[in-house]
Amino acid sequence: MANKVIETTLEKPVRTLGGLDVAYDEESDELVAALSRFDYPSMQHVASHTSRGKTAFPYIPGLFSFRELPAVLPLFAEQDRALWPDVIICDGHGRIHPRRFGLACHLGVLLDWPVTGCAKNHLCGDWEVPAEPRGSWSPVVMDGETIGAALRTQDGVNPIFVSVGNRVTLEEAIEVVLKASPNYRLPETTRAADAAVRAALAKT
């Protein structure tokens, strides 16, 4: 499946951005997935919608997509492709993965759509701490190949990990994620999706 990842420049200018996140309720084995939508590059929040499901796979590092994708896919199946955000930002890695096929790649290949990975923590690969200023980044290398970047989205905060999911270049992924993170460590897309899943899970 990793061979099906297409690492190319975006085909059209980005006008909308999407963000994904999932929240769980261990007690009921229920989970909620959310897709947030933003105008780009204005980063004005347009809307967020959620989908409920049942946990059916445990969390295993390296097999993350098998846990979250079943809950995420319905968010796209319910919509016309023309309404999908131009670029989707996942809350997990893309090519930064032992088999170079993380959640963002898996979703990107299944949808055949531009997707970028954006994780809060390191999974694999060697990297150096980037310079302090916002926008600084350093490559994440594995087997001599650059598979992603450690990106500083705000001065002095810990870097986040950006990597190609599908149909974008690493440089484009870094630019989009940085512009989507004007005020906080995480992209507005991820923050909005996170707020949506928590709110939905709260009223259960």
Partner DNA sequence: GCGACAG
Partner DNA sequence: ATCTTGTCGC
Residues that bind DNA (CB under 7 A): 21-24, 26, 59, 61-65, 91-93, 97, 102-104, 117, 119-124, 194, 197-198, 201
Minimum distance of DNA from residue 179's CB (angstroms): 20
40/161 with CB nearer DNA: 161
Each as own residue / partner, the long-range contacts of residues 141-144 (CB below 8 Å, 24 or more positions apart, any chain) are: 142/96, 142/100
188/194 with CB nearer DNA: 194
Under 8 Å between Cβ of 142 and 125: yes
Minimum distance of DNA from residue 13's CB (angstroms): 28
Minimum distance of DNA from residue 42's CB (angstroms): 26
5/119 with CB nearer DNA: 119
Minimum distance of DNA from residue 110's CB (angstroms): 14
Q: What is the spatial distance between Cα 109 and Cα 87, in angstroms, rounded to a whole number?
A: 13
Minimum distance of DNA from residue 185's CB (angstroms): 11
85/102 with CB nearer DNA: 102
Q: How many Cα neighbours within 13 Å face the side chain of 99?
A: 15
Strand partners, 50: 34
26/80 with CB nearer DNA: 26
Q: What is the spatial distance between Cα 10 and Cα 97, in angstroms, rounded to a whole number?
A: 22
Under 8 Å between Cβ of 196 and 34: yes
17/71 with CB nearer DNA: 71
Residue 147: CB partners within 8 Å, gap ≥ 6? Answer: 95, 96, 97, 100, 125, 140, 141, 163
Strand partners, 53: 31
Minimum distance of DNA from residue 15's CB (angstroms): 27
Residue 126 is given by DSSP the state B
